[in-house]
């Protein structure tokens, strides 16, 4: 009886719309979901931004960024201090908001007022509060600059280069402009395609064999690979083959070689069939 009452109470507390799900109940028990967090996730995933930027913010909020403090917990022998300022331990909050470079950047773009940073706060709490105060455009800028700051940190760690504040800000804006332009062009092409006669891939005629061929260049390993698969006019699998060749060549020549190899292979085993590439 106690268990039933607890489930009913949780159901009433979690589901305002009257739809109970095991997933939400499980996450509530683990303390992973609140109404505030749910609103933040909905806003984050609804931003018109490249997937890699939203994924970076999500990883930061889930506290899985490979910063020094987290790597040390996994027994990685690494210096705990921030590789950029060398003053404080490198934590997710420090990298994105408390490092001297990050602080200066947030002030430069005029977002220091919406970012309330506390030593004990998490990225999720900081961004959750900031998103509630911000317009949609500022939410985009927050996420974009978080990604840019993290990119600058990685360049510093791996390439030993320190990007300037102007370089980081301009890179972020250029990335956003390029992505928006590509989305507009994609939408235009799709709109044009809906009004034009588009040629779709179709099955080969009856009695023919359809062969798909592809090639891969592995210059570092010193060989070229090819693969092909044959299907009948109903799309049913018939046979497949892969092969490699030592050496290197441009991608276009590799594609030509793979096509030739597929032709020879089909000529050996399917003399009575017509081949359709």
**Count of domains observed in the chain:** 3
38 and 28 inside one domain? no
Per-residue pLDDT, averaged over 175-184, amounts to: 90
7 and 49 inside one domain? no
Integer CA distances (angstroms), 193 to 24, 179, 201, in order: 41, 21, 15
60 and 75 inside one domain? yes
pLDDT of residue 122: 92
Q: Are 24 and 14 a contacting pair, CB within 8 Å?
A: yes
Task: Determine the Cα–Cα distance for residues 275 and 231; give it in Å rounded to an integer.
Answer: 10
Q: Each residue of 197-235: pLDDT tens digit? A: 555 667 788 888 888 898 988 777 788 888 998 888 888
Looking at the domain assignment, is residue 261 inside a domain? yes
Residue 96 is part of which domain span? 34-180
Q: For residue 119, name the pLDDT band (cuts at 50, 70, 90).
A: confident
DSSP letters spanning 66-83: --HHHHHHTT-----B-T
Looking at the domain assignment, is residue 113 inside a domain? yes
Per-residue pLDDT, averaged over 170-179, amounts to: 90
pLDDT of residue 217: 84
4 and 68 inside one domain? no
For residue 219, what is the domain's CATH number? 3.30.420.10
pLDDT of residue 5: 45
pLDDT of residue 48: 92
Task: Determine the Cα–Cα distance for residues 91 and 67; give it in Å rounded to an integer.
Answer: 6
pLDDT of residue 50: 92
Q: For residue 103, name the pLDDT band (cuts at 50, 70, 90).
A: very high
Task: Determine the Cα–Cα distance for residues 165 and 84; give it in Å rounded to an integer.
Answer: 13
23 and 41 inside one domain? no
20 or 216, which is more confident: 216
pLDDT of residue 128: 93
Looking at the domain assignment, is residue 191 inside a domain? no
Q: What is the largest CA-CA distance in the chain?
A: 76
Task: Determine the Cα–Cα distance for residues 57 and 148; give it in Å rounded to an integer.
Answer: 11
Task: Determine the Cα–Cα distance for residues 125 and 133; give it in Å rounded to an integer.
Answer: 13
pLDDT of residue 223: 83
Looking at the domain assignment, is residue 56 inside a domain? yes
Query: Looking at the predicted structure, is the pLDDT value of residue 159 above 70?
Result: yes
Percent above pLDDT 90 for the chain: 43
Query: Looking at the predicted structure, is the pLDDT value of residue 86 above 90?
Result: yes
pLDDT of residue 87: 94
pLDDT of residue 135: 92
105 and 131 inside one domain? yes
pLDDT of residue 37: 67
Q: Each residue of 48-76: pLDDT tens digit? A: 999 999 999 999 999 999 999 999 999 99
């Amino acid at each position: 009886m106690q268990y039933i009452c607890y489930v009913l109470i949780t159901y009433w507390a979690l589901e305002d719309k009257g739809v109970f799900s095991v997933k939400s109940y499980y996450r509530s028990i683990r303390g992973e979901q609140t109404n505030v967090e749910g609103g933040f996730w909905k806003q984050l995933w609804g931003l018109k931004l490249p997937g890699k930027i939203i994924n970076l913010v999500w990883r930061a909020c889930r506290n899985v960024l490979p910063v020094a403090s987290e790597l040390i917990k996994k027994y990685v022998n690494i210096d705990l201090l921030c590789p950029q300022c060398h003053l404080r331990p490198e934590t997710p909050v420090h990298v994105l908001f408390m490092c001297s470079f990050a602080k200066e950047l947030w002030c430069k773009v005029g977002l220091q007022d919406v970012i309330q940073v506390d030593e004990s706060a998490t990225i999720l709490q900081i961004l959750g509060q900031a998103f509630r105060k911000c317009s949609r455009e500022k939410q985009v800028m927050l996420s974009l600059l978080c990604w840019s700051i993290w990119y600058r940190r990685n360049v510093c760690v791996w390439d030993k280069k320190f990007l300037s504040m102007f370089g980081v800000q301009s890179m972020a804006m250029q990335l956003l402009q390029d992505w928006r332009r590509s989305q507009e062009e994609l939408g235009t092409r799709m709109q044009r395609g809906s009004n034009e006669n588009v040629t779709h891939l179709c099955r080969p005629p009856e009695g023919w064999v359809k062969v798909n061929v592809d090639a891969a260049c592995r210059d570092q390993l010193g060989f070229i690979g090819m693969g092909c698969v044959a299907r009948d006019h109903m799309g049913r699998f018939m046979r497949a083959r892969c092969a490699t060749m030592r050496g290197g060549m441009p991608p276009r020549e590799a594609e030509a070689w793979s096509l030739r190899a597929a032709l020879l292979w089909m000529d050996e085993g399917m003399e009575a069939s017509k081949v359709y590439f």
